[in-house]
A and B are shown apart, each in its own frame.
Chain A
Amino acid sequence: MSHRTTRRTVLKSTAAVAAVTLASPYVRGAYAAGTITMGCWDHWVPGANNALTKICNEWGEKNKVEIKIDYITSQGEKDKLTAAAEAQAGTGHDIMSHRDWNIRTHQRVLEPLNDVVDSMIKKYGPISPVAEYLAKNKGTWYGIPTTVGSQVKPCQTRFDLFKEHAGIDVQAMFPSDESKWDKATTDKWTWDAFLDAAQKLHKAGFPVGLPMGQTSDAVDWVGAFFNSMGVVFVDDKDNIKVNSDETRKALEYMKKLMAVNPPEVYAWDDAGNNRWMISGKGSSIMNPPSSWAVAKRDNPSVAEKIWHHPMPKGPKGRFVGQLPQFYGVWSFSKNKTAAKDLLLHISQKEQVAQLVEASFGYDLPSFKSMYDLPTWKTVGPPVGVSYGYPPRGDEQTSVFGAPARAEVGAQMYNQAINTVMVSKFTQGNEKLDDVIKWAEKELEGTLRA
Chain B
Amino acid sequence: MADTVQSWISVPDTAAPPVKKKGFQKFVRRRSTIAFLMCAPLIAVVVGLVIYPAFYSIYLSMLNKAQTRFIGLGNFTWLMSRDVFWMVVWQSAIFALSAVFFKALIGLITAHLINNLPDKGQRKWRGMLLVPWVIPLALSTLGWWWMFDPTHSAFNWLLKGLGFNEIAWLSQPYWARFSVILVNVWYGAPFFLIMYLAALKSVPDQLYEAAAIDGANAWQKFVHITLPMMRNIMAITILFSLIVTFANFDIVQIMTAGGPRNTTHVFATYSFLTGIRSGDLPLGSAVSLFMLPILAISAIFILRGVRKRGREIG
Which residues of A are in contact with B by a Cβ distance under 8 Å? 76-77, 80-81, 84, 88, 101-102, 104-106, 108, 213-215, 262-269, 272, 275-276, 279, 281, 407, 410-411, 414-415, 420, 423-424, 427-428, 438, 441-442, 445, 448-449
Contacts and interface: CB of A to CB of B under 8 A. Distances in A.
Interface residues of B, number: 34
B276 A267 contact: no
A415 B172 CA distance: 19
Contact of A262 (B78, B151, B173, B280): B151
Contacts of B82: 442, 445
Given A263-B171, A275-B151, A445-B78, A410 B261 contact: no
A407 B279 CA distance: 9
A448 B83 CA distance: 15
Contact of A80 (B172, B256, B276): B276
A76 B173 CA distance: 22
Contacts of B305: none
Contacts of B7: none
Contacts of B151: 262, 264, 268, 272, 275-276, 279, 281
Contact of A427 (B152, B170, B260, B278): B260
Contacts of A407: 65
B168 A81 contact: no
B276 A88 contact: no
B277 interface: yes
Chain A contact surface mostly = helix
Chain B contact surface mostly = loop
Given A214-B259, A268-B150, A423-B261, A415 B273 contact: yes
Top 6 A-B residue pairs of the complex, sorted by shortest distance between their CB atoms? A105-B279, A264-B150, A267-B171, A267-B170, A414-B278, A266-B171
B89 to A, nearest CB: 16
A5 B182 CA distance: 81
A272 B276 contact: no
B66 interface: yes
A266 B259 contact: yes
B261 A427 contact: yes
Nearest to A80: B276
B276 A428 contact: no
A101 B280 CA distance: 12
Given A269-B257, A411-B280, 19 more contacts: A76-B253, A81-B276, A84-B279, A84-B281, A88-B281, A105-B279, A213-B260, A214-B257, A215-B257, A266-B259, A266-B260, A266-B261, A267-B256, A276-B151, A414-B279, A415-B273, A441-B83, A445-B81, A449-B65
B262 interface: yes
B257 A264 contact: no
A420 B277 contact: no
A414 B259 contact: no
Given A215-B257, A269-B257, A415-B278, A264 B168 contact: yes
B258 interface: yes
Given A414-B278, A438-B83, A428 B261 contact: yes
5 contacts: A76-B253, A104-B279, A263-B168, A264-B151, A414-B279
Nearest to B173: A428
A278 B173 CA distance: 27
Contacts of B286: none
B79 to A, nearest CB: 9
A410 B275 CA distance: 12
Given A264-B171, A267-B170, A267-B176, A414 B277 contact: yes
A275 B151 CA distance: 8
Interface string B245-266: 0000000010011111110000
Contacts of A424: 261
B261 A420 contact: yes
A449 B280 contact: yes
B84 interface: yes
Contacts of A276: 151
B175 to A, nearest CB: 9
Contacts of B171: 263-267, 427
B271 to A, nearest CB: 13
A77 B66 contact: no
A268 B148 CA distance: 12
B240 to A, nearest CB: 26
Nearest to B65: A449
